[in-house]
Amino acid sequence: MKQLVWLATILMLLILAVSFNGLQAKDTKTCFLDDDDGDNDGYARDGAPKQENVPVKSSEKLNCPSGYVRFENDCDDTKSDIHPRRDEIADDGKDNNCNGKTDEPDFVYFADNKNNWVTQNSFKIKMKLKDARVYSFRSSLEAKVFYASLSRTQTVPEKRVPVQMQHEGSNHYGIIEITELVPNNVYRARVEFYGQGSNQRIGDGTDWYYTSTSGPSAEDQMRTNVVLRAFYELNESNLGKVGYKGTSKSDGTKYGANSKELWCSEFYSWVNEPYVKWMKNENSTSALISFFKNQGSYFSTGEIQSVGTRGDYAGMSMDDDSAKEHSGMFLAYDSSSKNNLPDECKVDDVPKETPVIWLIEGNVGNQVGIRCRNVNEVGGLGHVRGNLSTDISRKEAGESNEASCKQWCDAHAECARCAPTSGCGTGYDKIETFRGRGNNWYACKVRPSRAEESRSNKEECERWCAQHSSCAKCSEDVGCGRGYKKIESFTGRGNNYYACKKR
């Protein structure tokens, strides 16, 4: 019986492996013709016609093949220093990064909690100002901030706040603070500038800035660090440093991927690695799913709303690269109604079916990107827990393991209790382990008696025998008795049983 199950499993894995290889072999992409990139900066002119289904070699799936470029939206196809992924140049009166705004500020991101001035109820935004009309304000400049929690994007409050100015040589910075926020929420905000008490906007405002509030527990702070580290990389990518045509890395090698390799999983594990114990350059969707399954912490699509927490892992069955495997970092489950979703949640101006979730993903078009996806695009959620690294004390880590175990036990009927370190004790069997720096905890089920196990062996044998015409009887005798031959074993605790055929 067990052998049969194994055989079936191996067969299924083989079929899966073959089908994935099959898909990889005929990968295609949407690209743009090289001829539509007049200045050769790797971006086709705005509105250039899409070339669908361009075949790409399985060894080079990151970018479009030669003769093509990957993106359009070059707002000046005569100047190679103007394209969508670069920083804005100050005071030149041009939109250098093709975002429709001229001499707007760049955000200054920091890769951790402390430098981002994040608290449980507030965050700050630091901007490098690029428009003399804005930075010539020595004081009395105000910002109008539009901000939203990604769990409720339909609500976008706005606030006027003072801008604290910093002038460092030829660089000019503005810092603002948003307060009275909800802990443990991922936020985004965009900023416009005004003189004190005036309704006349000064210069162009910003695109969205992404950040997160923190929370009281050590785990909350770890999650904040993880998410902020991801946003730092988002900014590096937006500035064209990492990913497609990147000035420092043109692929995912920064995140531990091989050259020209798809790097969504590497991005997720790289961002988490300093904070999540044991996570080390997991280089595939299946490796990440196993990582969470091994901790009993992989949840179904239907459980995402109740379990999903910023920093968790989302395993997806589709992506922008048309490959069938994709990894992302869960940011928020958006409770906004369908018709109130922001532009990122629309396909050709039609709102996506709700519910949607927000993710930050590596390798979306060889870039880091924020995505709004229908929850059904996510196949499962890896919930980070009980395994947070060195910044958490052993005691806290042990308590976290205990809490995780109890949560798991409540959700699984066969679980009778949770037990620490020494194991489940007499009369119980371990069914799940919750490891971490502190005490391990075990979910335990009641061990069946020897008599129950014997009965189960016997029943299993009889069921098998009824389904196999060659089987003549079940026997407790390993030799099946005179005139019979053993064809299958049903063993374990309790008495063993054997299926026998006539010689």
Q: Which range of residues in 80-88, 389-397, 403-411, 430-438 is near Ca ion by CB under 5 A?
A: 80-88
Q: Which of 435, 444, 212 is nearest to 311 (CA)?
A: 212
Provide the greatest CA pair distance for the chain: 103
Asked if 335 is part of the footprint of Ca ion (rule: CB under 5 A), the reply reads no
Q: How far is the CB of 355 from Ca ion (least distance, A)?
A: 33
Residues 97-156 contacting Ca ion, CB under 5 A: 97, 99, 101, 103
**CB atoms closer than 10 angstroms to residue 234:** 21
Q: How far is the CB of 83 from Ca ion (least distance, A)?
A: 5
Length of the chain (residues): 503
Q: Which range of residues in 79-87, 177-185, 320-328, 384-392 is near Ca ion by CB under 5 A?
A: 79-87
Residues 268-297 contacting Ca ion, CB under 5 A: none
CB 332 within 8 A of CB 310: yes
CB 4 within 8 A of CB 487: no
Q: Which of 215, 233, 187, 234 is nearest to 358 (CA)?
A: 187
Asked if 89 is part of the footprint of Ca ion (rule: CB under 5 A), the reply reads yes
Q: Which range of residues in 37-45, 147-155, 318-326, 346-354 is near Ca ion by CB under 5 A?
A: 37-45
Q: Give the whole-angstrom CA distance, residue 500 versus residue 503.
A: 9
Q: How far is the CB of 148 from Ca ion (least distance, A)?
A: 22
Report the interhelical angle of 264-272 vs 218-238 (nearest 10°): 140
> Using the rule CB under 5 A, which residue among 1, 33, 51, 94 binds Ca ion?
94
> Using the rule CB under 5 A, which residue among 29, 32, 36, 41 binds Ca ion?
41
> Using the rule CB under 5 A, which residue among 63, 96, 185, 387 binds Ca ion?
96
Report the interhelical angle of 264-272 vs 285-293 (nearest 10°): 40
> Using the rule CB under 5 A, which residue among 88, 142, 334, 460 binds Ca ion?
88
Mode of pairing for the β-strands spanning 141-149 and 313-316: unpaired
Q: How far is the CB of 25 from Ca ion (least distance, A)?
A: 31
Q: Which range of residues in 85-93, 115-123, 132-140, 255-263 is near Ca ion by CB under 5 A?
A: 85-93
Asked if 312 is part of the footprint of Ca ion (rule: CB under 5 A), the reply reads no
R_g of the chain, CA atoms, integer Å: 28
Tell me the residue number closest to Ca ion, measured at CB.
74
Q: How far is the CB of 153 from Ca ion (least distance, A)?
A: 23
Mode of pairing for the β-strands spanning 71-74 and 43-45: parallel
Comparing CB distances to Ca ion, the nearer of 85 and 385 is: 85
CB 226 within 8 A of CB 272: yes
Asked if 74 is part of the footprint of Ca ion (rule: CB under 5 A), the reply reads yes
Dihedral-angle region of residue 183 (phi above 0 means left; psi in -120 to 50 means alpha; beta otherwise): beta
> Using the rule CB under 5 A, which residue among 29, 36, 37, 273 binds Ca ion?
37
Q: How far is the CB of 63 from Ca ion (least distance, A)?
A: 15
Q: One-letter amino acid identity for 429?
A: D
Buried b (16+ CB within 10 A) or exposed e, 1-22: eeeeeeeeeeeeeeeeeeeeee
Q: Which range of residues in 76-84, 362-370, 391-399, 436-444 is near Ca ion by CB under 5 A?
A: 76-84
Asked if 501 is part of the footprint of Ca ion (rule: CB under 5 A), the reply reads no
Asked if 77 is part of the footprint of Ca ion (rule: CB under 5 A), the reply reads yes
User: Which spans of this chain sit near Ca ion (rule: CB under 5 A)?
Assistant: 37, 39, 41, 43, 74, 76-77, 82-83, 88-89, 92, 94-97, 99, 101, 103
